[in-house]
Structures are given as structure tokens and as C-alpha cells.
Structure 1
Amino acid sequence: MDANARPVADERDGLLTFLAQQRRVLKIAAHGLTEEQLRLVPSASALSVGGLLKHVAHTERGWTDRIGSKPRTGSVEEYGAEFRMTPDDSLESLLAAYDRVAAHTEEVVAGVADLGQAVPVPDEPWFSKDVEAWSVRWILLHLIEETARHAGHADIVRESIDGATGYELLAAAEGWEPTPWLKPWEPVGSA
């Protein structure tokens, strides 16, 4: 693989491909982290790489459920818990949950005949009262935006933990050969 999304065939394929690429970038931020490091909150925010993985999976599932007319309900406390890892959470469990969400998204979107299909806007204070519905297309674009935003957060958190950057991690995770301008990440003390 390389660092870019693959060529796309059409709009639906493009939206799903770019969403998958952003998921991949977010998951790469966790490459090589210990369970302890996955929980670290090294910046001024309350974000950890594990908490970001957990939140984005919950968020994507909520939006795809909304497409399928199964809106998610929950409290402010439940929303905040989406960002926090529990003692039962592990990198393996978070990645597996995220992969299940991705498969669910693919399934839901495959079942939509028209990306212009209306999806009612939730009755929550941060959504416009002037819009009655978005399209499935809008939701997929929003998921790309949301995932990319949090992938950027994860990059900053990860770099604060051990200095690792996205391309170094991608090269390590995918076994790229070192080049004069890019050396795959290695854990401290392994070289």
C-alpha cells in the first residue's frame, strides 16, 4: 500500500474509499503503542489515542444507524464516556470494534439506492434548526471530515508520546523499505 487512497470508480466508491483511508490513518497512530501508552493523555486536551479510536467508532456507528432510521440516543455522560477507555478496552478490542463499524457502514451504504436519500437531522442543540434533513452523501462527507479531524488529533497525541509521525508509522506498519528521506518507525531501544 501507499499513503494515499486508491483510485475510485464513482462517487459512492470515492466516498467510502476516502473514509476508509481516514480510518486507516487514525488506526496507524496506534501502531506499536503499549496498552499503557494507548491510554496516555500527554497534551492539554483529555484525548488519548485509544479514546479517539473508541469515539470515532461510536460516532460512525451512530451516523450509519441514523441512515438506517435507527437513531442513537444517549446522555451527555455516555457521550463523554466514548472518549475514555475502560479497563476492558485494549488496542485489539478497539481495532476489532472499529473494523466491525467499518463493515457495517459499507453494508448500510450498499443498501442505499440514492446517496441523495434524506436523513432527518437530529434534534440536538448543535444541529441547525433550519435544516430538516441531510443526504446520505452529506453524512459520508461529514464522517470523512470527522474521522480526519480526529486522525489529526491522534497524530498530535502520538507524537507527544514518543515523537513518532504518521509516515514513519505507516512505513513501519506496512513494512516499507527505508529510504534516504523516510525511515520506518522503531520502538525506542530497538535499533
Structure 2
Amino acid sequence: MTRETEDLLALLAEVRKRLLIPVRDLSDTDAGRRTTVSELTLGGLVRHLATGERLWLEILRKGDGELPEGMLDTGQYAMSETLSHWLSEYSAAAAETDAYVASLPSLDVEVRLPTTPWSPPEPQFWSARRIVLHLIHETAQHAGHADILRESLDGANSTAQLA
């Protein structure tokens, strides 16, 4: 594994941990509770990211441009199952992603992205590097959302929870 791969996977692990701080000590009820006008819930964010990692890993593994089942699921942000279920799924998806990315000979490996309703008309190709960077971006963005949702729920914030 290259130093670049190690660094990117370490950063991805760090933002994953940041996402999980706001869901500490939550009941399933609170994890599924909407605290803003948005449909987002803390449990729904964990579900979305667990599902998203699995979908991006499938895209990276196959690289054939086929749309993975569930990629256009509009209910990804809804809390379903239990929070512990989604935390377990997220942990497993993260481990699979990390292992697969670490096994790649290079982050320059390119894959064809699936065509979605928002895709440009011409085929799109992303490197494994860009997919990992996308996962970092997506996770960091949702970690910020999780902070807001948790503070809206009960006043807790990541700074206080780090202590």
C-alpha cells in the first residue's frame, strides 16, 4: 500500500469517527427523530453512509458503468431497523472499503460510473483516488449535518462529547 493510500484511508477513518460522535448514547427513538425541517435524522445519516459506502465499493469493484441496485433509493435517509444495526452495517462497509482500496495496485485504477438521471450524457470515469476523496467529502459533509441534528435534539455537540 502506498503512502498516499494510507493517508487517504486514515483521513476517511477520521471523518467516519467524527460522524459517529453525535450518535453516541442515542436511543433508537432519538436516532429516528427529526429535529429540523429537513427529513434528515441521525440514524438516517448512518444508514445513508453505510449504504453509500457499499454502493461506491460495488462501483469500484465492478467498474462497468452499471447502476447498483438501491443507488437511486430516495428513502436512504429514513431511519429503518435499529441504530445498532446501521452502526454495525457502517462498520462492516467501512472495513470492506478499506480492505479493497488497500489491495489496489494503484489509486489510478479507473472505473466507469453508472449513468444516473443527473449524469452528463457522455460516459464518466473516476479513479479509485477520486472515489475515496468523494467518500471523504460525503462523510465529512454529513458529519457536520450530524452535529447540527444532535445539538438540535438535546443540546449535545461534538466538542462536549470529545471530552
- TM superposition score normalised by structure 1: 0.78
Q: Which has the higher helix share?
A: 2
Which residue in the other structure is 1:152 paired with? 144
Report the counterpart of residue 176 of structure 1 in structure 2. Answer: none
| TM-superposition CA deviations, 1:41-83 (whole Å, max 9, x none) | 010100000000000110111111111107512374xx12221
In the other structure, the counterpart of 1:5 is none
Match of 1:69 in 2: 62
Question: Quick one: distance in 2 between partners of 1:143 and 1:111?
Answer: 17
Q: How many residues align?
A: 159
| Partner in structure 1 of residue 85 of structure 2 | 93
The CA distance in 2 between the partners of 1:166 and 1:126, in whole Å, is 34
Partner of 1:15: 8
Q: Give a deviation string over 1:76-133, Cα, whole Å, max 9, x none.
A: 4xx12221122xx222211111110011001211221110111102111223335531
Letter in 2 for 1:81: G
Aligned to 2:18: 25
Where in structure 1 do 4 or more consecutive aligned residues deviate above 3 Å? 128-131
Match of 2:52 in 1: 59
Q: Distance in 2 between matches of 1:127 and 1:19?
A: 25
Matches within 5 A, 1:128-147: 128-130=120-122, 132-147=124-139
- Specify the SS of the correspondent of 1:124: coil
Q: Normalized against structure 2, the TM-score is what?
A: 0.90
Q: Is the 8 A contact 1:121 1:127 kept in 2?
A: no
Tell me which of the two structures has the higher relative contact order, counting C-alpha pairs closer than 8 angstroms and 6 or more residues apart: 2
